[in-house]
Structure 1
């Protein structure tokens, strides 16, 4: 990389990383505390004419931007990571990156489960006779 190009790229990368992180915090707080999920008050609520699901989409894409910017930030700082952060020992760098990857993919690999208070039981009373849901479906 050209010596004069890294500094402006770092500035833009750092700004984008900061703004996307702030956006993640803001949309996460909005989703968690104002646009409450489910029957506890989340139906019909909007902020700036957007529903919980629309804000969830924005939250997701801010996360994608944040992850992409973080990876680009690591690429720009690769020489520093190799020399200083890992003290010149490659195994430290590999261990740190592997730990991060394990956390990400470990969480994603967790099995799905039904909560036990499934919606099929809650909606049984609302359905006409003979149209009952089978338990477990």
Structure 2
């Protein structure tokens, strides 16, 4: 397969996975009741709320893996676009973005831990 064929396949999988994560998230948020309700009402299409949550989590991890592959396959475009916008400072900009993202993840982790 050519590189563009891989990109098309990957982007299709990303789209399907993202739509699935969103649909199950909406299902968990608005359709399947949570909290103190009879356990029998926490089923949808034969699966319990916790099983839907497990599927949601697995699909979310799959989405992260597919996103990493997507960036890896498009890395040349990322570098060339960054060079076009920022010139010789392109490496510094990409490192700054990566560092800022790590700070955001760390802060989110701290908020959850409190």
Give the shorter-chain TM-score range: 0.7 to 0.9
Tell which structure's C-alpha radius of gyration is larger. 1
Aligned residues: CA RMSD: 1.9
Stretches of 4+ moved more than 6 A in 1?
none
User: Gaps (5+ residues) in structure 2?
Assistant: none
The structure, 1 or 2, with the larger RCO (C-alpha pairs under 8 Å, 6+ apart) is 2
Q: Which residue of 1 aligns with 2:19?
A: 22
Q: Is the CA contact (8 Å cut-off) linking 1:46 and 1:52 kept in structure 2?
A: yes
How far apart are 1:83 and its partner, in Å? 1.2
Output the TM-score relative to the length of structure 2. 0.83
How far apart are 1:33 and its partner, in Å? 0.4
Output the TM-score relative to the length of structure 1. 0.70
How far apart are 1:108 and its partner, in Å? 2.4
User: Gaps (5+ residues) in structure 1?
Assistant: 114-137
Question: Number of residues paired by the alignment?
Answer: 109
Residues 1:50 and 1:107: Cα distance change in structure 2 (over 3 Å) = same
Q: Does 1:80 align with 2:77?
A: yes
Q: Does 1:43 align with 2:39?
A: yes
How far apart are 1:105 and its partner, in Å? 3.5
Q: Distance in 1 between matches of 2:47 and 2:110?
A: 31
Q: Distance in 1 between matches of 2:79 and 2:27?
A: 39
Q: Distance in 2 between matches of 1:107 and 1:42?
A: 33
Match of 2:55 among 47, 55, 58: 58
- Name the structure where helix makes up a greater proportion of residues: 2
How far apart are 1:25 and its partner, in Å? 0.6
Q: Which residue of 1 aligns with 2:93?
A: 92
